[in-house]
Structure 1
């Protein structure tokens, strides 16, 4: 997360709405809650989206973008501190 982009939480009702403001210096993204089944859910949604050629691959793009933001464990900690990523666990 050394790119100099700041993060701001966006509209909780639209997970896929990712925007930039302040000339690209602020990324506005909804809070993503990661749980035990999130990977499976995303994989199934991506498979469904890829199966239908009329889809515009919004979910695939979102997941790839999220994956690109979390290259290291310190990236995940940073996104949690910014309110962008929440971890849900039955143990918490």
Structure 2
């Protein structure tokens, strides 16, 4: 079965989500527009909800910025996603 998987050029949902998160984390000191955060939230929840039953109304996603002692700024995507049940159990 693994042999045929190599011919599929379509990225898996996991790979798509990972790439999106990388883009967010790489984004340096610039501000991220609320529309972009909303779209990211929507797409992340779409992928996660394929595998986990989540409470969509209680999801919180934000970008937090912090500076270290050397003056470098960093950003982090923070997601609080309440889980109801894990599918496939």
TM-score by length of 1: 0.28
Q: Which has the larger radius of gyration?
A: 2
Q: Which has the higher strand share?
A: 2
